[in-house]
Chain A
Amino acid sequence: MSEDQTALLNEVSDVLESVLNKKVELKPEMNIVNDLGLDSIAVMNFTMALEDKFDISIPLNDMASVVTVQDLLNTLETLRSAA
């Protein structure tokens, strides 16, 4: 993982912690639903918080194709470079 992605991973962890109100340790290969136990509402709230953190728009349908934490990092990078 690049340095940029490691930094991004840390930021994403902070956002998720603020949404869940508990500590999480994110790894790129983690499955967001199964390993992190996020239900559909938590995923949507996580999305809103990410939008605010990075000041980007993440349409729900873009999140639908995100399975792992790595997918999420890639999606965020794409959206940020487009913004």
Chain B
Amino acid sequence: MSLLSKFQPLAARYDALRESGADPFSVKFDDIISSVEGVLKGKRTLLFGTNNYLGLTFDPHSMERSIDAIRMHGTGTTGSRIANGSYDGHAELERAIADFYGRKHCMVFSTGYQANLAMISTLVGKDDHLVIDADSHASIYDASRLGHAPVVRFRHNNPDDLAKRLARLKDQPGEKLIVVEGIYSMLGDTAPLKEFVDVKKEFGAYLMVDEAHSMGVLGERGRGLAEREGVEDDVDFVVGTFSKSLASVGGYCVSSMEGFEILRIAARPYMFTASLPPAIIASTTAALETLRAEPQRREKLTANSRRFYNGLKSAGFTVGPEANPIVAVIIDKVDVAAAFWKRLVDEGMYLNLALPPATPSHQAFLRSSVSAAHTFEHIDFAIELMTRVGREFGLLPENVHPFPPRVVTAERLSARAATMPVRRPAADVGAGMA
């Protein structure tokens, strides 16, 4: 009992949440039918909480290549690239990502989380300084604890605050690495990257951008926020993940810095874990090809994001500051947010419930992620459902209509969801979604 007793306060909070009827931490899907549709408690459900930005999880090109790779190269690599060797596919994917970014070097990791752990904990040592945004993702915080550099935080998205903190470190020896994100994963806001670049240059620091949620989403070619802002030459390292736009699992870092390759025998989260299996490498390589060949997916994603964001905003919800594929509705009270979330899920819309401390404030977020695979009909269904429930909960003014009011039911899902049979029995899926 004593070993786990320190978790009693956490357990008590979790119990209170479950007693309210909402358990966002153990949703179990009966099945996932498409990039945007699943089955939950026997009911067809629209997925608005997947990070599946380009809608590529069922893309035939990726699926076929993945299946071929298993047939040709087996199911797993059974070891790390340092100890057990690389396959052709690993090097090929690294070349493809480096080429996509126009950078000299790329390292692939087994998750995006590990990409951050590896890069951040290794690049700065005990005589350097790590300077991170206060609202950084957990992987960046964990990386800051794995490494040995002193860690300083600056106020979220605030270049002046960053400058102030770098000024305090001015006379201290060692290099400074600034870490920011392209699109922040909870609120969907972007970093003021041009201003951060100015500060970085003023103080001679290095800059890393985690484009986990912006790769495939922002920029003319989909490289992310640095591309959109025209500052790629001043971003020393881009980190990202395969688990969102590229619809698989894994992470990467690209850079043109001379000497980069030494990190392969220095970064422990790269060295001491098994490399990605052939099926994942193959589907990821294929998905990157699709990302590059089909910019229309990004256009559709942008149109969907704006429609959803503007619909919720004009209905009177408090949303994040920008229309990006992550759309968060901010709700002050955690119990109201939990009840709201449960109603939406019961009525056929799955989204994420983000609770403090995962949110940057003491509020709760109903966090949606929009996909290029959503139709406008899907988006409108979600807006109308959220608006109806929001009014019922007294969170919205009565007289605002985002659209001409229509009857909304779960039957309004897309034609495909209405006609496509569930392909597999309930039992073997579920665990696929994190």
Chain A interface (Cβ < 8 Å from any Cβ of B):
39-41, 44-45, 47-48, 51-52, 55-62, 83
Contacts and interface: CB of A to CB of B under 8 A. Distances in A.
B357 A40 contact: yes
B151 A59 contact: yes
Nearest to A64: B145
B153 A44 contact: yes
Contacts of B356: 41
Nearest to B155: A48
Contact of A60 (B144, B165, B168): B144
Given A41-B357, A60-B153, A62-B150, 13 more contacts: A39-B357, A41-B356, A44-B134, A48-B155, A51-B168, A55-B168, A57-B150, A57-B152, A57-B169, A57-B172, A60-B152, A61-B150, A61-B151
B165 A57 contact: yes
B357 A48 contact: no
A60 B136 CA distance: 14
B168 A57 contact: yes
Contacts of A57: 150, 152, 165, 168-169, 172
28 contacts: A39-B357, A40-B357, A44-B134, A45-B134, A47-B153, A48-B134, A48-B154, A51-B152, A51-B165, A51-B168, A52-B164, A55-B168, A56-B168, A57-B150, A57-B152, A57-B165, A57-B168, A57-B169, A58-B152, A59-B129, A59-B150, A59-B151, A60-B144, A60-B150, A60-B153, A61-B150, A62-B150, A83-B168
State the main secondary structure of chain A at its contact with B: helix
Per CB-CB distance, the 5 closest pairs between chain A and chain B, nearest first, are A59-B150, A60-B151, A57-B168, A41-B357, A57-B169
Nearest to A59: B150
A83 B144 CA distance: 23
Please report whether the interface of chain B is mostly helix, strand, loop or mixed according to DSSP: mixed
Nearest to A39: B357
Nearest to A60: B151
Nearest to B150: A59
Contacts of B154: 48
Contact of A48 (B153, B169, B172): B153
A47 B129 CA distance: 16
Nearest to A41: B357
Interface in B141-180: 144, 150-155, 164-165, 168-169, 172
Interface of B: 129, 134, 144, 150-155, 164-165, 168-169, 172, 356-357
A65 B144 CA distance: 16
A37 B154 CA distance: 23
A83 B153 CA distance: 18
Contacts of B153: 44, 47-48, 60
Contacts of B172: 57
Contacts of B168: 51, 55-57, 83
A25 B169 CA distance: 32
B152 A59 contact: yes
A65 to B, nearest CB: 13
Contacts of A40: 357
Nearest to A55: B168
Nearest to B356: A41
A65 B258 CA distance: 37
A57 B162 CA distance: 12
A83 to B, nearest CB: 8
A55 B164 CA distance: 9
Nearest to A47: B153
A15 to B, nearest CB: 15
B82 to A, nearest CB: 29
Nearest to A82: B172
B176 to A, nearest CB: 11
A51 B155 CA distance: 12
A60 B357 CA distance: 18
A39 B153 CA distance: 17
A39 B150 CA distance: 21
A57 B152 CA distance: 7
A58 B131 CA distance: 12
A59 B356 CA distance: 24
Contacts of A52: 164
B358 to A, nearest CB: 10
A23 to B, nearest CB: 19
A10 B150 CA distance: 27
A2 B168 CA distance: 27
Contacts of B357: 39-41
Contacts of A55: 168
